[in-house]
Amino acid sequence: MTLPPAASLHDPAESFYSHWQALNDWLILHRPLWQSAPFMEPVPGWTRDYPGLARLVAGLGDRQCDALDDDPAELASLAGEYLPTLTAYSQLVELPDLSPSAHEVARATLPEVRAVDMPGRKRQQSGAFAAAVQPLRESVLDWCCGKGHLSRTLAAGCPEPVRGFEWNAELVRDGNRLAVQAGAAVSVQCQDVMAPDLALPANVHGVALHACGDLHRQLIRVGSEAGLPRLSVSPCCYHLTDARPYRPLSHRSASCDNRLELSPNDIRLAVQETVTAPARVRAQTRLVSQWRLGFDGLQRELRGCDDYLPVPSHPSRLIHEGFEGFCRWAAGKKKLALPDTTDFEHWREVGERRWRQVRRHELVRHLFRRPLELWIVLDYAVFLEERGYRVRLGEFCDRTLTPRNLLLDAVRVSGIPPVEHNRP
Ligand SMILES: C[S@@+](CC[C@H](N)C(=O)[O-])C[C@H]1O[C@@H](n2cnc3c(N)ncnc32)[C@H](O)[C@@H]1O
């Protein structure tokens, strides 16, 4: 496998594309590891192909699992002993740090007293994003702006008024009210950004903080088509798309012969992170997963069939009814009769054991979250370069503030006409 050469700042077009290509090849090479479904398959295929790796993860303690889930580079290096191509991980996910100094971030972040109605994490994310895109020269268009938290943050350091597009009328009302209350030069407009007749204001700097899937792709597409002077996007929820299968935006990636094909479900792995979920939520998710796995063991025995049986999402009240209540509800949904002799305690323990195993197999899958995300975002960078932009791609804040911490910052290079490609 060829890895990208050290990124060349003098030829960003080449480095973004070659980085994308190296990730593409690496992801294809390791497909069985990230396309496995540990929740449904007690023995994923890769555990037979790489028994050393399977033994490594099976031998990890719970704390080691937590630590390695937060430190995939360390996991890749340990796992590299059994599958040496995994050691390329660190090089493949390395990106420039686009976060300015703590002082600059503090200056760009609204003080708490002026951040009315703004959740603490959103206030800090908006501040970090605003600091990373300074200086602002044009008037700003905040894409899918919600209540305009980012708009108000940006307005404090922007020479021109900030405009927001948002389609939810209630959020638009709140956004305008909060702007007036704060004395911020912000106006939020009710607008569906996917509307076919969308009229983009000329010469604005388009920004999007966590606009989901097709929404941020729409800004990248229509914003560059309109030749907006600058586009700054921190993408999220890549799997929210109407495209089946997912198709890269750039001509170069889309026409690559050996291109990875991703379903929305594959893409979902890129955003499967819970670093910001409160401990209580994580504990509850774990308990329900154990119950589901316990019921899975029970249903396999009852049906005499070693296949996973999908169970729909459960009503939240079930969490108070214990494992037995859960099994009775799930059996009802799947029209399975539970014998009076069912040993619920046994199956609850089976669920706990299976969960520990799934946790360790998932650890291996999680190694591919950032590479999949980068495969998608590097293609955006290549696309913007094809359209005549100079692009920076890096991290605008620490992932503990938000795991969706990538920033794509593209400035239109005057004099370079966008490359026209006819899509096949
Ligand atoms: C995840 S929120 C991000 C909000 C804001 N950028 C922030 O960081 O606080 C996505 C926003 O997109 C809005 N939205 C969804 N679809 C939209 C559409 N087609 N047109 C405009 N806004 C849309 C939602 O109502 C929501 O406010």
Q: Are 260 and 394 in the same domain?
A: yes
pLDDT given at position 387: 96
Please determine, for residue 424, whether its predicted confidence score (pLDDT) is greater than 50. Answer: no
Using an 8 Å Cβ cutoff, are 212 and 240 in contact? yes
CB-ligand 1 contact for 178 (6 Å cutoff): no
pLDDT given at position 279: 83
Distance 360 CA to ligand 1 centre (A): 35
Q: Are 188 and 315 in the same domain?
A: no
Q: How is 205-267 classified by DSSP, letter by letter?
A: EEEEEEEEHHHHHHHHHHHHHTT-SEEEEEEE-TT--S-SS---SSHHHHT-TTPPP--HHHH
pLDDT given at position 333: 96
Average pLDDT, the chain: 92
Which tens digit of pLDDT belongs to each residue from 245-299? Answer: 899 999 999 999 999 999 888 999 988 875 556 888 888 889 999 999 999 999 9
pLDDT given at position 416: 59
Domain assignment present for 266? yes
CB atoms within 10 A of CB 103: 9
The C-alpha torsion from 210 through 211 and 212 to 215, rounded to 10°, is -160
Distance 392 CA to ligand 1 centre (A): 24
**Taking each helix axis from N to C terminus, what angle separates 51-58 and 344-366, rounded to the nearest 10 degrees?**
120
Our mutation pick for probing the ligand 1 site, out of 149, 163, 166, 207, counting the most ligand atoms within 8 A of Cβ, is 166
Q: Are 151 and 253 in the same domain?
A: yes
Which tens digit of pLDDT belongs to each residue from 20-68? Answer: 999 999 999 999 999 989 999 999 999 999 999 999 999 999 999 999 9
Domain assignment present for 424? no
The tokens 């929404």 sit on which residue? 215
Domain range enclosing 28: 12-93
Q: Are 260 and 292 in the same domain?
A: no
**Is the CA virtual torsion 4, 9, 13, 14 positive or negative?**
negative
Which tens digit of pLDDT belongs to each residue from 112-129? Answer: 888 888 888 999 999 999
CB atoms within 10 A of CB 261: 9
Q: Are 283 and 269 in the same domain?
A: no
Tokens matching residue 172: 């638009």
CATH code for the domain of 135: 3.40.50.150
The tokens 């991980």 sit on which residue? 89
Distance 170 CA to ligand 1 centre (A): 12
- 144's CB contacts (< 8 A; 6+ apart) are 165, 166, 167, 193, 208, 211, 212, 215, 216
Please determine, for residue 188, whether its predicted confidence score (pLDDT) is greater than 50. Answer: yes
Domain assignment present for 331? yes
Q: Are 28 and 60 in the same domain?
A: yes
Please determine, for residue 239, whether its predicted confidence score (pLDDT) is greater than 50. Answer: yes
**Structural domain ending residue among the three candidates 93, 117, 149:** 93
**Structural domain ending residue among the three candidates 76, 93, 110:** 93
Q: Which atom of ligand 1 is nearest to the CA of 165?
A: 21
Q: Are 186 and 268 in the same domain?
A: yes
Average pLDDT over residues 393-420: 87
CB atoms within 10 A of CB 231: 27
Q: Are 79 and 26 in the same domain?
A: yes
In whole angstroms, what is the distance from residue 213 CA to residue 160 CA?
A: 28
Using an 8 Å Cβ cutoff, are 65 and 78 in contact? no
CA distances to 25, 39, 132, 328, 336 from 321, in Å: 47, 23, 48, 10, 19
Q: Which H helix or E strand runs over 149?
A: helix 149-155
Q: Which of 215, 249, 250, 209 is nearest to 233 (CA)?
A: 209
User: 190 pairs with which residues across the strands?
Assistant: 166
Using an 8 Å Cβ cutoff, are 69 and 366 in contact? yes
Domain assignment present for 180? yes
Q: Are 39 and 114 in the same domain?
A: no
Domain assignment present for 1? no
Report how far Cα 379 is from the mean position of its chain's Cα atoms.
15
CB atoms within 10 A of CB 417: 9
Domain assignment present for 417? no
Using an 8 Å Cβ cutoff, are 248 and 259 in contact? yes
pLDDT given at position 274: 59
Q: Which of 137, 92, 70, 80 is nearest to 2 (CA)?
A: 92
Q: Are 130 and 242 in the same domain?
A: yes
Distance 234 CA to ligand 1 centre (A): 13
In whole angstroms, what is the distance from residue 188 CA to residue 172 CA?
A: 6
Q: Which of 271, 266, 262 is nearest to 370 (CA)?
A: 271
The tokens 């996007």 sit on which residue? 233
Q: Return the residue whose CA atom lies nearest to atom 27 of ligand 1.
A: 146
Domain assignment present for 172? yes
Distance 397 CA to ligand 1 centre (A): 21
Domain assignment present for 61? yes
Pick the residue with more confidence: 1 or 228? 228
Q: Are 106 and 122 in the same domain?
A: yes
Reduced to 3 states, what is the DSSP secondary structure of residue 97?
strand
Q: Return the residue whose CA atom lies nearest to atom 12 of ligand 1.
A: 144
Domain count, the chain: 3
Q: Are 212 and 117 in the same domain?
A: yes
Of 15-29, 192-206, 407-421, the range with the lowest mean pLDDT is: 407-421
